[in-house]
Chain A
Amino acid sequence: MTTSPRFIRATYHPNIQVAEFIAEDGRHLLRSGGTLPWRLNNCGDLVSPVNSSGDPCPRHTRGYVGFAKPKDNDKHFFMFPDAETGRRELKASLSRKYSQCTLPELVNKYAPSKENNTDKYVNDLIKETGIGSHEKVVDLSDGQLDRLVQGISKLEGCENHADSRREVWVPVSCIIASDGSRPLADEEIVLRQAGKDTVIKSNQVGQFPPIPHGKDPIEVLHRTADGRLKPVGQIAGGKGRNWSLIAQVERFLGVSGSDEPPSNITHRRQPFVYVVQPHDSLSKIATKFAVSVQQIKSDNGRRTDLIHPGERLGIYGPLAPSGAESKPKKALPKASVTTEKGTPTPPPAVRQATNVRSDEGQGKPLAVISTDQGRAPWMAYAIAEAKRHKGAKEVEIEKTTNYATDVHTGQATMVGNNHPWCAAFVNWCLMKAGYPVENLSFYDHVAAKGRAHGFYEVNGEKDAVTNKASVVRNPLFVQILEPVYGAIAMVTSAAGHGHHVGFVYAKRDDAHVVLLGGNQSDQINFIDASIKPELAVYKEDSKGQKVRVKKASPDHLMFFVPAAYAKQARVDAAKAELPTSSTEALNRAFGIKTQKKDGDDTR
């Protein structure tokens, strides 16, 4: 295992007594046979304490990648990435806990008589290590401590049954269910291998359980609306990969096909929420839904025709009262769209079509209109927050919403110069829209959600010798080359480190985009950001001397979208141009107050 790639996570399968180690390159190592300490690389049988919920809650021990709870055992044994780490932690533990103990005292505590033959254990240990029975652990030399670790390891049976040990490397593929723009929860796929079918379901954020490659290729099948199984791909070969399962079949809600509506269908058009998309205008929306501009304005209490992407409009009726506090959304279920009271309504997970009939609700359908609100659904949340807080400072925002604690970045407050929250705000909007933001397999996945750079790279496992963390590309986000509406824009330094993050909302000109983000001068607001590094700007004074009025800036933008949104982002990049706007106009339009009461920037 010493030459294997670094392991970032491990799990134990008690029923089949197999330890599964997940490497950062996506492969899985299965260890069976031997003894439990060998399978877990835990030669000292180190066990984690548990919290009040019964979950493992390690305090001192470092370097573990998982826990194993064997069958018929309540204890959570540590799983270490290699035997060396296991020995190091055992040694550290002995020095920490038993420093004032002699060998017999140590054994009495470490291997109590109710579980072991303590006297035999002591004698065997003295024989193995050559350490005197009166010597205290604190007085042992490093070499003696190593021998003690080795002795305990042997007595614990770590080296037993060596002939039954088995290690198998298995490539694993991961799949996210998506409709091209949003993750789909509870989506089913069938894995067919050697004629045997296994059904698996996507979780709350569209992720299927990792699929280990077998000897035979695995065919991935998706069930169509008429119940047939349609092949969508194949898992085979020696290298695992991550891919999105794009729903192949668009699903339409509402009636279709019949010219005459059934008599029990209500004649009144049902109000619904429409999220304004880039390049929409009130007249376009009115035409789309066969309603007058005046009616939309009246329903939504608007005096002007000005609308902005991400805003919510009530169509065929006023908007429900909106608040912002809400629980995170799950990825939307297969064929239903639910609305949580008091929250911005997310766009549907599937292409929703509405049958619009005449004003009287009778006669032939006017059209089957796709409302197509699939573009950056998280923007509705970002816009709703911008409008709700109207430029309030972070100290005020935190009184109602703490983005850092909501997404669990490990930071208690957003207030103050040392408490950044731009990444927390972006993750909060994505989470509300049902996109995965958590990489449980990375050891600092909590803090990563609070880092601007975390959308690009996160820390992997730390090297035992250098104590330096490896850098891993965050698989939840896909980098795109061009800015598209709603893309996550990471402001990146010359050294390639992201130090701010926001959403692309519009473009100011070909060289600048308008970002909507949090922790921008302590507010949620719109700012300009240069796509590429900027050169210094010089102007001539009245004597013809060149004066540098703007310094060169190495900052530039990198763009990302959630992996489940990659297809839509490609479509947007090819077809949809960003709308042009200015930060001043947008801040004014969204009621984002500037910090100056009188327009005077001097005091």
Chain B
Amino acid sequence: MTHVDRDGLIWRTGFACLSLIFFAGSISAGVVIEPNIVYANLSDSQSKTIDSALKSAINSAKPECWVKSAGLIYMKRRPPGITDELIRRALLQSSPSAKRSLSMALLSYRDDEVSGFDGVVAYADKPVPRFVSMTAKTLAITSQQIADVRNSKDVELAFCAVKPDVVRSP
């Protein structure tokens, strides 16, 4: 006398889906070296000096804190929905709802080169010239004053201090 263990398709399919969700959430195996970042210049003057200093630093032969070709900074391009106003509210006014919206927009963005951004770096000149950043997911805000905006090394060091962590999965 025996008793056979049988079941239906719905249960099997359900279990398969649950397994997939479980494994997708529980396994992280791989590595991302540098973050993908959205950059915004929020200064009143919209001076391009800082922007070019940052671009030169990132693309220099030996960047201080950037592994070449391992990440991307969107300076001119801007993912839809990520406006200066949203960045201002999230980074400078620390609005929780703006931070959540920004994080969602960063992580969900996709194009040919980017599968999600890890954070935002913004330049603000009031009350003092500084970089402010927000890391997606963790919503951590970091700020670093720029010692001398005319000194490209100071610009690079300040950027390094606020560079968002990599938070997207490999």
Q: How far is the CB of B60 from chain A (nearest CB, A)?
A: 10
Instruction: Name the residue among A77, A423, A521, A595 with the largest chain B CB count within 10 angstroms.
Output: A521
**Residues of chain A with a CB closer than 8 A to B125's CB:** none
Q: Are A541 and B157 in contact (CB under 8 A)?
A: yes
Q: Assuming the A-B contacts A602-B55, A602-B73, A603-B72, are A539 and B64 also in contact, with contact meaning beta carbons closer than 8 angstroms in the complex?
A: yes
Is there a chain A Cβ closer than 8 Å to B128's Cβ? Answer: no
Q: Assuming the A-B contacts A49-B4, A111-B1, A542-B147, are A550 and B65 also in contact, with contact meaning beta carbons closer than 8 angstroms in the complex?
A: yes
Q: Are B144 and A603 in contact (CB under 8 A)?
A: no
Is there a chain B Cβ closer than 8 Å to A410's Cβ? Answer: yes
Q: Are B30 and A422 in contact (CB under 8 A)?
A: yes
Q: Are A520 and B29 in contact (CB under 8 A)?
A: no
Is there a chain B Cβ closer than 8 Å to A15's Cβ? Answer: no
Q: Are A541 and B147 in contact (CB under 8 A)?
A: yes
Q: How far is the CB of B65 from chain A (nearest CB, A)?
A: 5
Q: Are B68 and A500 in contact (CB under 8 A)?
A: no
Identify which of residues 81-137 in chain A touch chain B, using a CB-to-CB cut-off of 8 Å.
90, 93, 96-97, 110-112, 115-116
Q: How far is the CB of A99 from chain B (nearest CB, A)?
A: 13
Q: Are A48 and B1 in contact (CB under 8 A)?
A: no
Q: Are A59 and B33 in contact (CB under 8 A)?
A: no
Is there a chain A Cβ closer than 8 Å to B44's Cβ? Answer: no
Q: Give which listed residue, B29, B147, B165, contacts A501 with CB less than 8 A.
A: B29
Q: Give which listed residue, B3, B29, B160, B165, contacts A499 with CB less than 8 A.
A: B29
**Residues of chain B with a CB closer than 8 A to A542's CB:** 147-148, 151, 153-154
Q: Are B168 and A602 in contact (CB under 8 A)?
A: no
Binding-face segment, B20-28, B83-91, B97-105: B20-28
Is there a chain B Cβ closer than 8 Å to A491's Cβ? Answer: yes
Bound together, the chains give a CA A28 to CA B15 distance in angstroms of 33
Q: Are A59 and B7 in contact (CB under 8 A)?
A: yes
Is there a chain A Cβ closer than 8 Å to B169's Cβ? Answer: yes
Is there a chain A Cβ closer than 8 Å to B48's Cβ? Answer: no
Bound together, the chains give a CA A116 to CA B11 distance in angstroms of 31
Q: Are B27 and A602 in contact (CB under 8 A)?
A: no
Nearest opposing residue in chain B for A540, CB measure? B157
Q: Assuming the A-B contacts A48-B4, A420-B29, A519-B29, are A59 and B12 also in contact, with contact meaning beta carbons closer than 8 angstroms in the complex?
A: yes
Q: How far is the CB of A516 from chain B (nearest CB, A)?
A: 12
Is there a chain B Cβ closer than 8 Å to A418's Cβ? Answer: yes
Q: Assuming the A-B contacts A418-B24, A420-B170, A601-B58, are A594 and B3 also in contact, with contact meaning beta carbons closer than 8 angstroms in the complex?
A: no
Q: Are B3 and A541 in contact (CB under 8 A)?
A: no
Q: Are A601 and B69 in contact (CB under 8 A)?
A: yes
Q: Are B30 and A58 in contact (CB under 8 A)?
A: no
Bound together, the chains give a CA A351 to CA B4 distance in angstroms of 53
Q: How far is the CB of A153 from chain B (nearest CB, A)?
A: 12
Bound together, the chains give a CA A78 to CA B5 distance in angstroms of 10
Identify which of residues 541-573 in chain A touch chain B, using a CB-to-CB cut-off of 8 Å.
541-543, 545, 547-551
**Residues of chain A with a CB closer than 8 A to B76's CB:** 602-603
Q: Give which listed residue, B1, B115, B160, B170, contacts A549 with CB less than 8 A.
A: B160
Report the interface size class on chain A: 35 or more
Bound together, the chains give a CA A518 to CA B29 distance in angstroms of 10
Q: Give which listed residue, B28, B74, B158, contacts A547 with CB less than 8 A.
A: B158
Q: Are A49 and B6 in contact (CB under 8 A)?
A: yes
Q: Chain A at the B interface: mostly helix, strand, loop or mixed?
A: loop
Q: Are B69 and A545 in contact (CB under 8 A)?
A: no
Q: Assuming the A-B contacts A59-B11, A420-B30, are A110 and B4 also in contact, with contact meaning beta carbons closer than 8 angstroms in the complex?
A: no
**Residues of chain B with a CB closer than 8 A to A90's CB:** 3
Q: Are A110 and B170 in contact (CB under 8 A)?
A: no
Report the interface size class on chain B: 35 or more
Is there a chain B Cβ closer than 8 Å to A297's Cβ? Answer: no
Binding-face segment, A39-47, A177-185, A479-487: A39-47
Is there a chain A Cβ closer than 8 Å to B77's Cβ? Answer: yes
**Residues of chain A with a CB closer than 8 A to B69's CB:** 594-596, 599, 601
Q: How far is the CB of B27 from chain A (nearest CB, A)?
A: 6
Q: Assuming the A-B contacts A417-B168, A549-B157, are A60 and B29 also in contact, with contact meaning beta carbons closer than 8 angstroms in the complex?
A: no
**Residues of chain B with a CB closer than 8 A to A77's CB:** 2
Identify which of residues 441-494 in chain A touch chain B, using a CB-to-CB cut-off of 8 Å.
447, 450-452, 491
Q: How far is the CB of A194 from chain B (nearest CB, A)?
A: 41
Q: Assuming the A-B contacts A520-B31, A601-B66, are A543 and B73 also in contact, with contact meaning beta carbons closer than 8 angstroms in the complex?
A: no
Bound together, the chains give a CA A551 to CA B163 distance in angstroms of 10
Is there a chain A Cβ closer than 8 Å to B53's Cβ? Answer: no
Q: Assuming the A-B contacts A447-B23, A519-B29, A600-B59, are A93 and B170 also in contact, with contact meaning beta carbons closer than 8 angstroms in the complex?
A: no
Q: How far is the CB of B13 from chain A (nearest CB, A)?
A: 12
Is there a chain A Cβ closer than 8 Å to B129's Cβ? Answer: no
**Residues of chain B with a CB closer than 8 A to A60's CB:** 5-7, 11
Identify which of residues 115-170 in chain B touch chain A, using a CB-to-CB cut-off of 8 Å.
115-116, 144, 147-148, 151, 153-154, 157-158, 160-161, 165, 168-170
Is there a chain B Cβ closer than 8 Å to A75's Cβ? Answer: yes
**Residues of chain A with a CB closer than 8 A to B39's CB:** 602
Nearest opposing residue in chain A for B111, CB measure? A603
5 sampled A-B residue pairs with Cβ under 8 A: A47-B3, A411-B23, A417-B169, A420-B169, A520-B170
* Shortest Cβ-Cβ A-B pairs, 10 listed: A519-B30, A594-B69, A420-B29, A549-B160, A541-B147, A417-B169, A452-B29, A59-B7, A418-B24, A111-B1
Interface residues of B (CB under 8 A from A): 1-7, 11-12, 23-25, 27-33, 39, 55, 58-59, 64-66, 68-77, 113, 115-116, 144, 147-148, 151, 153-154, 157-158, 160-161, 165, 168-170
Interface residues of A (CB under 8 A from B): 44-49, 58-61, 75, 77-78, 90, 93, 96-97, 110-112, 115-116, 156, 410-411, 416-423, 447, 450-452, 491, 499-501, 517-522, 527, 539, 541-543, 545, 547-551, 584, 594-596, 599-603
Given A45-B1, A601-B72; 16 other pairs, CB 8 A cutoff = A45-B2, A45-B3, A49-B5, A58-B5, A112-B1, A116-B1, A519-B29, A520-B30, A521-B31, A547-B157, A547-B161, A549-B65, A549-B157, A601-B71, A602-B58, A602-B73
